[in-house]
Amino acid sequence: MVFTIGIRREDKNRWERRVPLIPKHVKEFKEKYGIETIIQPSQIRAYSEDEYAKAGATIKEDLSNCPTIFAIKEIPINFFEYGKTYIFFSHTIKGQKYNMPMLKKMMDLKCNLIDYERIADDRGYRLVFFGRFAGLAGMVDTLWAFGQRLNSKNIDTPLNEMKQTIHYKNLDEIKEHLKKIGKKIQQNGLPESLTPLVIGFAGYGNVSKGAQKILDILPVKEISPKEMKKIYDNPSSNCIYKVVFKEEDMVKPISSDDSFDLQDYYQHPEKYQSIFENYIPHLTILMNCIYWNTQYPRLVTKDFLKKNYTERLNLQVIGDISIDINGAIEFTEKATTPDNPVFVYDPLTDTIRDGYIGEGVVIMGVDNLPCELPRESSHAFSDALHTLAPEIARADFTQDFDNCKLSPSIKKAVVLYHGKLTPDYQYIDKYL
């Protein structure tokens, strides 16, 4: 039996060049599983049509013969067809208002929706993700923003040489450049006005690990949150201090009778309050890498920044990789793009200004960071997805949900089945 999958052209913006499945795996599907691939043509895709054609794919605009279609970002409402299965980042599982019309259309057409974000093992660890590459690109772009900020203040450091991720050829070139910058920091040190230079990471998951991987190319000394104040006694100018914050560092129970419990915090965040403001005065750069929604305390509020802002505030740049608008970083007022990646938030006037010049704190808020490393991020994503894709392509979606033979890892990611919210996602109904 021949199975056919489709790969949709990404067209959400001109920066989106990623693919869910690379040519190497398309070839493997055909030779090993008898799965044919039809891929829509694209002028900007990181892998060329010729590469896909050589792998055995058919380049074709019409995907009507594909019962199963893979994509990356949200899909336009007019693209969906009756009864088909779609696999993509739907951005619906938090009840995101802007995607509810899309979800409703899929329900009306009795489509099946599998969301990459929820494909996970039995411990809850995600199996298919771009997070590490968001961290890699986000750290590079944040260091670039910091360097530009220093330039604007006539402060000369090796970090001023940093470029944005999109202006490097690939990840290898980034690493080589960082090694050269790191040697200069070791040999010549940083200006006294920047010492100690402390970079904090809120979170320790895939995004944070990616960001740390970039920073660790530089001369780095890792310290604990408890050690932050001590380094000011005798700081080194020949290294960058790194501190990683876990949940127990960022919040505490409201009741003095309670002690911190991670699972209790996840299940009852209303019982906890933020203590992260204790660390902010000692940070030069903050990397926000945490999952956040409205039930959790914020990391940095407008009120705190307004009350504590001075021209000598240590905090210069926030790399908001998580990019929740008015979320963990309350003054992340908008997402940015690679061609306009940063803005300055002025806490005294509660206003923002594009660029890195002006009073306040610079925010790097690019919301699609992995697309700045399109080939490498697509390759890693496809490496994870290609072990799962054949099962999805050959699945019998005519069965009822209880009896469909999808593996648990995939089944828990099925948001819609025959156009209906599956049991784990019934809560989304209130947002519709």
- Give the separation between CA 5 and CA 39, rounded to whole angstroms: 9
The residues, ordered by sequence, that sit 6+ positions from 154 with a Cβ below 8 Å of its Cβ are none
Q: Identify which has the larger pLDDT, 313 or 239.
A: 239
* pTM for the whole structure: 0.91
pLDDT tens, residue by residue, 192-237: 999 999 999 999 999 999 999 999 999 999 999 999 999 999 999 9
Q: What is the DSSP string of 270-329?
A: GGEEE-GGGTGGG-SEEEE-----TTSPPSB-HHHHHHH--TT-S--EEEESS--TTSSB
The reply to whether 131-372 shares the fold of 3-129+374-431 is yes
Report the relative pairing of strands 342-346 and 361-364 from DSSP bridges: antiparallel
What pLDDT is stored for residue 246 in this prediction? 97
Nearest Cα residue to 249 out of 307, 302, 208: 208
Domain ranges of the chain: 3-129+374-431, 131-372
Q: Give the containing element (helix H, strand E) for 221.
A: strand 220-223
What's the pLDDT tens digit per position in 48-58? Answer: 999 999 999 99
Cα–Cα distance list, 176 to 61, 164, 215, 262, 399 (Å): 40, 14, 13, 39, 53
| pLDDT band, residue 309 (cuts 50/70/90) | confident
- Provide the residue type at 179 as one letter: K
- Residue 312 confidence class, pLDDT cut points 50, 70, 90: low
For residues 156-164, average pLDDT? 97
Q: CA 242: distance to chain centroid?
A: 20
| Phi-psi group of 189: left, alpha or beta (phi > 0 → left; psi -120 to 50 → alpha; rest → beta) | left
Nearest to 203 by CA among 286, 126, 281: 286
Could you tell me where the DSSP H helices lie in 2-112? Answer: 23-28, 49-54, 100-108
Q: What is the mean pLDDT of residues 358-364?
A: 95
On whether the CB atoms of residues 318 and 305 are closer than 8 A, the answer is: no
SS3 label, residue 343: strand
Confidence of residue 1 (pLDDT cuts 50, 70, 90): low
Nearest-angstrom CA–CA distance, 85 and 67 = 6
Alpha-carbon distances of 49 from 32, 59, 333, 337, rounded to whole Å? 22, 7, 38, 26
Any idea which fold 131-372 has? Rossmann fold (3.40.50)
pLDDT tens for each residue of 169-196: 999 999 999 999 999 999 999 999 999 9
Please write the tens of the pLDDT for every residue from 405-424. Answer: 899 999 999 999 999 999 99
CA neighbours within 13 Å on the CB side: how many for 18? Answer: 28
| DSSP line for 114-150 | EEGGG-B-TTS-BSS--HHHHHHHHHHHHHHHHHHHH
pLDDT for residue 25:
98
Average pLDDT over residues 264-284: 94
Of the CA atoms within 13 Å of residue 401, those in its CB half-sphere come to: 19
Q: Which CATH superfamily is 3-129+374-431 part of?
A: NAD(P)-binding Rossmann-like Domain (3.40.50.720)
